[in-house]
Amino acid sequence: MSTAAPARKDFLSVLDFDPSDLERCLEIAAQVKADRTLGRQAPTSAALAGRHIAMLFEKASLRTRSTFEIAVVELGGNVVSLQPEAALGKREPVADVARNLERWVDGIVIRTFSQRVLEEFARAAPRMRVINALSDDQHPCQALADVMTLREQWGPLRGRTVAYVGDGNNVAVSLVHATLMLGVNIHVVSPDGYQLPDWAVQQAAAASRHGARLRLFSDAADGVAGADAVYTDTWTSMGQEAEAERRRQVFAPYQVNDALMSHAKPGALFMHCLPAHRGEEVTADVFESAASVVFDQAENRLHVQKALLVMLVAAAHA
Ligand code: CP
Ligand code: NVA
């Protein structure tokens, strides 16, 4: 198992990986998943020995924070929990915070609003690895778990089609990046005014491999037609709470329910990054159906993030 570090120091976007990094990440993730039963005997159980990884979360998190903390501990490293009000407040500039931290820690996992804050951390601290644990723009660690889950379900991914139905948000952007890079077609189905941002559409052409295509739709049934998996996310992301009522109205025709699933291929999977809102973006029936792989996605967060830490931090010091 090759664990050579990717060319980019940080993981702020799936596009910080080249396709071979993404393949390697998925291979390592599958291996650490299989090895997990070995506990302390697992070959990677000391991969982060003597290493410190800081956690800085400015928004709520169940999955991302728990799985990163467990990943660091199971790799033999140490977690340093930072207070967002101390590290991202008004006490000192972000660049100063980053330059302090890089004297102590090897990597930092950050959940914040602005992608620019992540970029500032990465730029100011050339020796510290920065990992995006969700920003307003992207959620790359989620996308790694999503494509791992698809590979477990399908084996080879090339030529498959995923339909993402809902807000063209952070989860959608990273899913577009990861699917296209692996040769998977992606449909993004959104109401007017909530489509995938233009910058993400432009990036898609460069990310695509093996002829995979991004197609944008506004009609839910059209977008889902022929899809091998249907993915949705909350209509109101963290930070948009004031818009929740308006969004509930705009997105109502985009609910993933049995009628919409019937337009997808027979046996199509249902995916969601969680947390889910039954009766809004997905019905309880679809969420609880045999097609739903949402808890596999959640489990795989742990394995892909372990792989990421092995590649970024352990391999960098190998
Ligand atoms: N999917 C996801 O990122 O979940 P959390 O917000 O709970 O971390
Ligand atoms: N789009 C959601 C994802 C949560 C994991 C948000 O940003 O709140």
Q: What is the pLDDT of residues 128-176, one digit of tens each?
A: 999 999 999 999 999 999 999 999 999 999 999 999 999 999 999 999 9
Return all residues near 7 (Cβ < 8 A) that are at least 6 apart. 18, 21
- Residue whose token pair is 């467990």: 70
Residue 175 corresponds to which amino acid?
L
Q: pLDDT digit string (tens) for 232-257?
A: 999 999 999 999 999 999 999 999 99
For range 271-292, the mean pLDDT? 98
For range 202-223, the mean pLDDT? 96
| pTM tops 0.85 | yes
Of the candidates 175, 171, 183, the one whose C-alpha atom is nearest the C-alpha of residue 208 is 183
Residue 74 corresponds to which amino acid?
E
> Positive or negative CA dihedral for 256, 226, 289, 177?
negative
Q: Is 317 a catalytic residue?
A: no
Task: Return the biggest CA–CA distance within the chain.
Answer: 55
Residue-level pLDDT at 2: 58
Q: Which residues line ligand 2 (CB under 6 A)?
A: 134, 169-171, 233-234, 237-238, 273
3 pLDDT more than 90: no
Query: Tell me, what DSSP letter sits at residue 4?
Result: P
Q: pLDDT digit string (tens) for 66-87?
A: 999 999 999 999 999 999 999 9
Q: Give the residue, out of 56, 59, 64, 238, with the most ligand 1 atoms within 8 A of its beta carbon, to mutate for a pocket test.
A: 64
Closest ligand 2 atom number to CA of residue 274: 5
Strands 269-272 and 129-132: unpaired
Quick one: CA torsion of 125, 2, 210, 165, rounded to 10 degrees?
-60
Of the candidates 128, 105, 72, the one whose C-alpha atom is nearest the C-alpha of residue 302 is 72
Residue-level pLDDT at 174: 98
Distance in angstroms (rounded) separating the CA atoms of residues 233 and 247 = 13
Q: Name the region of 267 (left: φ>0; alpha: ψ -120 to 50; beta: rest).
A: left
Read off φ and ψ for residue 186, nearest 5 degrees. -135, 125
Q: Give the residue, out of 148, 296, 301, with the most ligand 1 atoms within 8 A of its beta carbon, to mutate for a pocket test.
A: 301
> Whole-number mean pLDDT of the chain?
97
Residue-level pLDDT at 47: 97
